[in-house]
Amino acid sequence: MRFRAKIVDLACLNHFSRVINTIAKLAKTCTLRLTVNKLYFILSDRVANGGVSMWCELCQGNFFDEFQMEGVAADNNEIYLELMPDNLSRALKTAQSAKAVKIKLTNKYSPCLKVAVELPSLSRSSRIVTHDIPVKVIPRRLWSDFKEPSVPDFEVSIYLPLLKTMKSIVERMKNLSNCIVIEANLSGEMNLKIETDVVSVTTHFKDLGNPPWASEDECQSSARGRDLQSMAEARIDIKKLQQLLAGQQVNPTKALCNIISKRIVHFILLHEDVSLQYFIPALA
Amino acid sequence: MPFSTQSHSGGEQYVLTASLDNARNLSSLLRAVHFQDHATCFATANGLRVTVEDAKCIQANAFIQAEIFQEFHVQEESVMFRINLAVLLDCLTIFGASSSPGTSTALRMCYRGYGYPLMLFLEEGGVVTVCRINTQEPEDLLDFNFCSTNVINKIILQSEGLREAFSELDMTSEVLQITMSPDKPYFRYKISLLKPSTKALALSCKVSIRTDNRGFLSLQYMIRNEDGQICFVEYYCCPNEEITDAEL
C-alpha cells in the first residue's frame, strides 16, 4: 500500500485547501478514499452524526501534479483512511504561499499522512514544514460501509438560490430557532420557515427552476405525476444546514436539493472539478 | 409595489403601517440602542421612538422621524408595544447586515393593535420574507425628568473627538468622571452603564453632552443614515455619586 502526491501550482493548492476547509466544517472525522483517478471524502450515515452523511468527490488530475497510489491489492486498487479533516485543513493553512506541498502515506510508528510544505525562502536553504496527520487504515472488509449513496426517490428536486443569500437568511433564522422547514414544489418555488413562541419567519423564493432529471431515471418516480404546486417539506436541524452553507466559499456552478417529505433533504453542490453531496435527515 | 404580499395588508385595519426603501436605515439605528433584548416602541404621527432601559439607571431612545419612511401612518394618537429587539433585528437584517452596493432591503411594517403581532414584509432581489413577531404588554418607562432649564453643562462636539477619547479610556474601570466646567458639582457615572452608548457614538457625526443640576447625563447622538438623512439616538444615565470636596 503506497500513496504519494504533490501539488506545485498555487491556484490548485488554494483550491484544494478550500475544499478541505469545507470538509472540515462538515465532518469531525471522515473517510478518505483514494483511487487512481479520484479522491473521496465520505461521512457515512451514523446515528452519532445525527444521521448526516456526506459524499465529496474530486478528480485528482485537476489538483495534483504528481499522484501515485498502489492499493492493498491489484484487484482492489484503493486505499481507505479515516482522518480528522481539520488536521489536514490546519496543515494546509501554512501552505498558502508554498512552493510545493507533498502528501505521503507513512507508517513509521503508526500510520500517518505526512504533509510536507515547502515554503519560499530568501536564503538558498529551503524551509520545509511537515505535519504528520494520524490516520487509521480501514480494512477491506469494512469498505462496503462507504458506498456511494444512491439518489433517493425524491418528490421534489429544485435548484437552490444564490448560496450567499441563503446563507445569510439561514444564519439569522438560526439565531431564532433550532429547526427549519424547507419546502419546495415543482414550479420552482421554495420556502424556508421557522416558527417559535416569539416569532415566525418565512422566506419565499420563486423562479428557481427544477432540474430536468432524465425521465427514464427511476429515482424520479415520486416526482412524476405530482401536482406542480404541491409542496414537499422536511423539518431539519438548522445547524446542519448552516454548516453546509457556511463552508461554501465559492458559489458552485450548480446547487440543488432533493426533498423527500418528512424523511431527508439531499443537497448536491457541483463545482467544475468537485462534487459534494450532503444528506440531512428530517427531524421527527 | 414590490410586494406580492400586499394582499396581506389590504382591507385589514392596521393602527400602524410604515414602509421603508432601505431597511438598514431602521436596523442600524436600532442596533445603536441594542443593549437589552427588549424594547418599547412608541409611534405617533411624528415617527417612531424605540426605548431600551437597563437597571432603572439608563435609558436609550432611537428616534426615526416619519419623514425617514416612504410611508408612515398611525391611526390612533399613539401606538405602543413592547417587542424583542434581538428578534426584530434578526428579522430586519434577514438578507444580511452589511451593505453590498446596489442592493437594499425594502420593508413594510404593519401592526393591528394591542395583542397582535408586528408584521414585517421584507424584499430583496425578488425574494420575500414575511415575519410575525409577537408583541408584549408595554411596561412603564423611566421618566428622567431631564429638563433643559436645569441643564448646567452642555457641550456639542464632533463625534470623532469623543470616539478618540473613549478609545483611550480604560473601559474596564468602574466609573468615569465627566468634568465640563471648573465649577462644582462634578459627577461620576458607572462605565458599565455608559458602555452601550459607544455603539451610537460609533455611528454618529455629532454629539451633545449635557448634565443637569442633579447630575443626570444626557448624550444625544446625531446619526446620518445611508441616504444622508439625520436621525437621533439619545442616552440618559443616572450619576453614580457626587464627588465630595474631600475627594478633590
First to last CA, chain B: 64
Q: Examine the pLDDT at B247 and tell me if it is beyond 50.
A: yes
What is the pLDDT confidence band of residue A215, given thresholds at 50, 70 and 90? low
Residue A218 has pLDDT above 60, yes or no: no
Long-range contacts of residues A252-258, Cβ cutoff 8 Å, at least 24 apart: A252/A163, A252/A276, A254/A159, A255/A159, A255/A160, A255/A163, A256/A157, A256/A158, A256/A159, A256/A160, A256/A211, A257/A157, A257/A158, A257/A160, A257/A182, A257/A184, A258/A151, A258/A152, A258/A154, A258/A156, A258/A157
Contacting residues of B for A177, CB less than 8 Å apart = none
* Same domain? B47 vs B118: yes
> What percentage of residues in chain A have a pLDDT greater than 90?
69
Q: How far is B149 from chain A (nearest CA, A)?
A: 43
Residues B171 and B227 in one domain: yes
Give the pLDDT confidence of B15-38 residue by residue, as tens digits: 999 999 999 999 999 999 999 999
pLDDT at A47: 56
Chain A contacts of B23, Cβ < 8 Å?
A: none
State the pLDDT at residue B1: 41
B120 Cα distance to chain centroid: 19
CATH placement of domain A2-145:
3.70.10.10
Query: Which pLDDT band holds residue B242 (cuts at 50, 70, 90)?
Result: low
* In chain B, % of residues over pLDDT 90: 72
Query: How many CB atoms are located within 10 Å of the residue B70 CB?
Result: 13
Contact B91 A201 (CB under 8 A): yes
What is the C-alpha to C-alpha distance for residues A134 and A201, in angstroms, rounded to an integer? 45
More confident residue, A177 or B248: A177
Q: Write the CATH number for B104.
A: 3.70.10.10
Q: What count of CB pairs under 8 Å joins A to B?
A: 56
Bond before B185 cis per omega within 30 degrees: yes
Q: Residue B103: which domain range?
A: 12-136
Of B86, B87, B94, the CB nearest to A203: B94
Cβ pair B134:A201 closer than 8 A: no
Residues B185, B122 share a domain? no
Average per-residue pLDDT for chain A: 90
pLDDT digits (tens, 9 = 90+) for B146-163: 988 999 999 999 999 999
Residue of B nearest to A197 (CA): B134
Q: What is the largest CA-CA distance in chain A?
A: 70
Distance CA A29, CA A40 (A): 13
Among B95, B96, B134, select the one facing A198 at the smallest CB separation: B134
What are B's interface residues with A at a Cβ cutoff of 8 A?
A: 84, 86-87, 90-91, 93-96, 124-134
Q: Between A161, A202, A207, which is nearest B129 by CB? A: A202
First to last CA, chain A: 44
- pLDDT band of residue B5 (cuts 50, 70, 90) is very low
Question: Which ipTM value was assigned to this complex?
Answer: 0.87
| Model confidence at A18: pLDDT above 60 | yes
**Are B84 and A203 an interchain contact pair (Cβ–Cβ within 8 Å)?**
no
Q: What does the alpha-carbon distance between residue B162 and residue B206 come to, in Å, rounded to a whole number?
A: 9
A197 touches chain B (CB under 8 A): yes
Segment A143-198, tens digit of pLDDT = 988 888 887 789 999 999 999 999 999 999 999 999 999 999 999 999 999 999 99
C-alpha span between B219 and A56 (Å, rounded): 55
| DSSP secondary structure code for residue B221 in this structure | E
Give the one of A161, A200, A204 whose C-beta lies nearest to B128's C-beta.
A204
Give the pLDDT band of residue B6 (cuts 50, 70, 90): very low
Which residue among B127, B130, B133 places its CB closest to the CB of A165?
A: B127
One domain, residues B107 and B152: no
Closest-CA residue to A192 (of B5, B131, B6): B131
Helix (H), strand (E) counts: chain B: 6, 16
Establish if A203 touches chain B: CB-CB under 8 angstroms.
yes
Q: Verify that B45 and B101 share a domain, yes or no.
A: yes
User: Is the same domain home to B110 and B175?
Assistant: no
Give the DSSP H or E segment for A175: helix A163-176
How many domains are there within chain B?
Answer: 2
- Residue-wise pLDDT tens digits, B156-207: 999 999 999 999 988 899 999 988 888 888 889 999 999 999 999 999 999 9
Smallest Cα–Cα separation from B96: which of A33, A203, A237, A152?
Answer: A203
Test the A interface: residue of B87, B127, B132, B133 with most A CBs within 10 Å = B127
- Report the residue from B125, B128, B134 with minimal CB separation from A199: B134
- In 3D space, the residue among B13, B34, B15 whose CA is nearest the CA of residue B92 turns out to be B34
pLDDT the model gives residue A213: 76
Cα dist. B153→A29, B178, B208 in Å?
63, 10, 10
The reply to whether B79 and B16 lie within a common domain is yes
Tell me the residues of chain A between 145 and 184 that have a Cβ less than 8 Å away from chain B: 161, 165, 168-169, 172-173, 175-176
Q: Determine the Cα angle at B45 with ends B42 and B46, to 5°.
A: 80
d(CA B89, CA B91): 5
Q: Are B109 and B118 in contact (CB under 8 A)?
A: yes
B4, B38, B130: best mutation site toward chain A, by most A Cβ within 10 Å? Answer: B130
Q: Are residues B154 and B100 in the same domain?
A: no
Q: Minimal Cα–Cα distance from A197 to chain B, Å?
A: 8
Of B84, B93, B133, the CB nearest to A172: B93
Provide the shortest C-alpha distance from residue B132 to chain A (in Å). Answer: 5
B131·A199 Cβ contact <8 A: yes
Let me know whether B72 and B157 are in one domain: no
pLDDT over 90 at A115, yes or no: yes
Cα dihedral A191, A195, B24, B229 sign: positive
Asked if pLDDT for residue A219 goes beyond 60, the answer is no
Long-range Cβ pairs for the range B49-53 (8 Å, 24+): B50/B85, B51/B141, B52/B85, B53/B141, B53/B142
Does the beta-carbon distance from A198 to B84 stay under 8 Å? yes
Taking CA–CA distances from A168, the nearest residue in chain B reads B96
Q: What is the pLDDT of residue B246?
A: 59
Which regions of chain B does DSSP assign to beta strands (E)?
16-20, 38-44, 47-54, 58-65, 71-74, 79-84, 106-111, 118-124, 127-133, 151-158, 175-178, 187-190, 204-212, 217-224, 230-237, 241-242
Identity at B219, one-letter amino acid code: L
Residues of A with Cβ-Cβ distance to B93 under 8 angstroms = 172
Last residue in a domain, options B74, B102, B136: B136
Residue B186 and residue B130 share a domain: no
Q: Do B90 and A207 touch (CB under 8 A)?
A: no
For testing the chain B interface, which of A166, A176, A181 should be mutated: the one with the most B CBs within 10 Å? Answer: A176
Identify all chain A residues contacting B87, using CB atoms and an 8 Å cutoff: 176, 198-199
Domain final position from B136, B158, B193? B136
Q: Where are the domains of chain A?
A: 2-145, 156-214+228-281
Place of cell 428536486: A157
- CATH topology for A156-214+228-281 is Proliferating Cell Nuclear Antigen (3.70.10)
> Cα-flanking dihedrals φ and ψ of residue A192, to 5°?
-115, 130
| Cβ-Cβ contacts under 8 Å for A120 (sequence gap 6 or more) | A97, A98, A99, A127
pLDDT tens by residue, A55-74: 999 999 999 999 999 998 88
Indicate whether A272 pLDDT > 90: no
Contacts B129 to A, Cβ<8 Å = 169, 201-204
Q: Which helix (H) or strand (E) holds A201?
A: strand A199-205
**Cα A262 to Cα A181: distance, rounded to the nearest angstrom:** 10
Residue with cell 416612504: B70
CB contact under 8 A, B90 and A175: yes
Q: The pTM is what?
A: 0.88
Q: Which of B90, B95, B128 sits opposite A165 (nearest CB)?
A: B95
Nearest Cα of chain B lies from the Cα of A94 at a distance, in angstroms, of 30
Q: Render pLDDT for B43-102 as a digit per residue (tens, 0 to 9).
A: 999 999 999 999 889 999 999 999 999 999 999 999 999 999 999 999 999 998 776 777
